[in-house]
């Protein structure tokens, strides 16, 4: 089957600092790195590295053409990525001594995807294919409707969190994905528990506490995180987890096995600096599991 990912492509600027700056404080970074990121690109990279067939739908500017070479090099089909005159989205990432991060995003070309591109990109989609999408682009409701009409399995990351955006797609998705903070925000904003949202499946990632998958029929599956020697950079860990999970499900693994592979991939990722470049390959995940 095929995974279609309508998502952001960002240029990441990462700075390591001893602590996050406070109001009015100026800090000197101990290091700087430049690379490919964005929730969409990270998820596409993870799913492709996991061995899935992935088509990315999005947009870049003249400064971001190199990002397409990277995605293509990992096996991602980039034929439905629009080239615009607007600067490519970028992120300013600070990483502290505990490997936690803060991120400021400039959407750029991610908010300039032509509406007509969505229908064109999904023209060849078939029932049983998967659609990934999140909130770093526009047209969330439109792409969710298109996917539902075509019988796709729709997976929505409610990030960056926006309750209005979530409400607009709740009736059109199969799997809602949130981290622990977003889950609390959504439950508070809607004054309803996650199990009462009517979504067939919910996946909550909890960092070093693992993840929990819930089904509308009452089933729950827990995936513990794997302990590693040193956490270096948590940026993109959730995207790595989701990309691997969706790829494993697409490849026919059951939920427990898919969560297990995703947990290993996320653990390997946080042991490395960077975002999309740092996502492990399927061979690396297999080697870890063999051990």
Q: Give pLDDT tens digits for 142-172.
A: 999 999 999 999 999 999 999 999 999 999 9
- Cα-based distances in Å from 273 to 8, 89, 179: 20, 20, 21
Q: How many domains, the chain?
A: 1
pLDDT at 225 over 90: no
Q: In this structure, what CATH number is given to the domain that contains residue 145?
A: 3.40.1190.20
What's the pLDDT band for 231 if we cut at 50, 70, 90? confident
- Going from the C-alpha of 106 to that of each of 50, 61, 158, the distances in angstroms are 28, 13, 18
For residue 242, how far is the Cα from the chain centroid? 6
pTM score of the predicted model: 0.94
* Residue-level pLDDT at 68: 98
Q: Which two tokens stand for residue 96?
A: 């502290």
Whether the pLDDT of residue 229 is over 80: the answer is no
- Write out the residue range of the structural domain in which residue 134 sits: 4-290
pLDDT band at 94 (very low <50, low <70, confident <90, very high): very high
- Give pLDDT tens digits for 232-270: 888 899 999 999 999 999 999 999 999 999 999 999 999
């Amino acid at each position: 089957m095929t995974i279609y990912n309508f998502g952001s492509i960002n240029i990441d600027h990462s700075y390591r600092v001893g602590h996050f700056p406070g109001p009015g404080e100026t800090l000197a970074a101990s290091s700087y790195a430049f690379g490919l990121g964005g929730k969409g690109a990270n998820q596409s990279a993870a799913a492709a590295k996991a061995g899935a067939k992935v088509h990315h739908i999005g947009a870049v500017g003249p400064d971001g053409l190199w990002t397409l070479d990277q995605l293509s090099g990992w096996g991602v089909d980039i034929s439905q990525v629009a080239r615009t005159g607007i600067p490519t989205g970028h992120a300013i990432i600070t990483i502290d001594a505990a490997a936690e991060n803060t991120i400021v995003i400039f959407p750029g070309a991610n908010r300039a995807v032509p509406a007509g591109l969505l229908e064109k990109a999904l023209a060849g989609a078939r029932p049983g294919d998967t659609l990934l999408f999140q909130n770093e682009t526009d047209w969330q409701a439109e792409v969710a409707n298109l996917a539902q009409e075509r019988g796709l399995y729709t997976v929505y990351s409610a990030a960056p969190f926006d309750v209005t955006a979530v409400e607009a797609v709740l009736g059109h998705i199969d799997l809602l994905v949130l981290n622990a903070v977003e889950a609390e925000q959504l439950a508070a904003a809607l004054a309803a528990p996650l199990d009462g949202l009517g979504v067939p499946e919910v996946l909550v990632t909890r960092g070093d506490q693992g993840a929990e998958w819930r089904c509308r029929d009452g089933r729950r599956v827990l995936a513990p995180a794997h302990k590693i020697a040193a956490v270096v950079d948590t940026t993109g860990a959730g995207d790595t987890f989701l990309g691997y999970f969706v790829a494993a499900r697409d490849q026919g693994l059951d939920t427990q096995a898919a969560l297990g592979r995703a947990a290993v991939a996320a653990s390997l990722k946080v042991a490395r600096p960077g975002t999309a470049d740092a996502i492990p390959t399927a061979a690396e995940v297999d080697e870890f599991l063999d051990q």
